Amino acid sequence: MSVSKKVYLFANWKMYLDYDESNILANALAGASVNFAKKIKMVIFPSALSFYPVAQVLDDIGIASGAQNVHFEDRGGYTGENSAMMYKNAGAKFSLIGHSERRHLFGETNHEVHQKMETALSVGLTPILCVGETAKERKGNKAKDVVEIQLRAALDNLKWKPKDKLFIAYEPVWAIGTGNHCDPIEAEKMCVMIFKMASMLAKGLEVIILYGGSVNEGNIRDFLKQPDISGVLVGGASSKLDTWLQIVQNVC
């Protein structure tokens, strides 16, 4: 069974691959004679260290690259950080914003997520806003409330251009990197809510919802079957050539 709609396959390599490994994987992707069907839009998010060479290799084969995180200032005394403007200059087209690992491991607040959304848009990077609830919040029936707060804070008063697309990745925290993916029907329910809320908060924009959290070659189709899930943000399974190519093949 193939998936008929346009599909967004976004690969978050996190801190899984060192410089050499990132380049080897990018070159292997370039060399794999996969027919990246027109319906697939692929974006790779390499580490900051390997961003530039990887982006160049991928650009040659029509795959876009993005930042895993950006700082909200353009320049300054922010040791260890990289700005949206600097990523843009190095060839980035996209940026993840507010990934749950940034929020929960590095204490990124809703306010900072909003600042990063603003900066990404101001330099011309397309932000992928990541939202999602923890296991405790889900158990306490708070998933929708938490995600609504994240959406409202992030999308408040942003300056969009008429043709911009608003990408939102629904990534329940408890499903990320655990092998315990969200039930696709449950994910769809959250994605419908997110779609409605985002469409209201960013009137007139095309809103595209992705699911992320333990997506692999075995479950990808179950997510893409859902009417409101237009793509996936994949971590672990995107950092190995065989599983990533299998995912691509299962979508074609």
Closest approach of Cβ 52 to ligand PGA, in Å?
A: 22
Nearer to ligand PGA, 12 or 83 (CB): 12
Among 28, 36, 177, 199, binds ligand PGA (CB under 6 A): 177
Does residue 236 touch ligand PGA according to CB under 6 A?
yes
Q: If we measure between CA atoms, which residue out of 166, 152, 176 comes closest to residue 233?
A: 176
CB 211 within 8 A of CB 194: no
Q: How many residues bind ligand PGA (CB under 6 A)?
A: 13
Does residue 132 touch ligand PGA according to CB under 6 A?
no
Does residue 184 touch ligand PGA according to CB under 6 A?
no
Closest approach of Cβ 216 to ligand PGA, in Å?
A: 8
Stretch that binds ligand PGA, among 17-25, 64-72, 188-196, 206-214 (CB under 6 A): 206-214
CA angle 234, 244, 6 (to 5 degrees): 70
**Which residue is it, tokens 């346009």?**
6
Does residue 85 touch ligand PGA according to CB under 6 A?
no
Q: If we measure between CA atoms, which residue out of 94, 78, 13 comes closest to residue 50?
A: 13
Q: If we measure between CA atoms, which residue out of 247, 175, 240 comes closest to residue 218?
A: 247
| Contacts to ligand PGA by CB under 6 A | 12, 171, 176-177, 212-215, 233-237
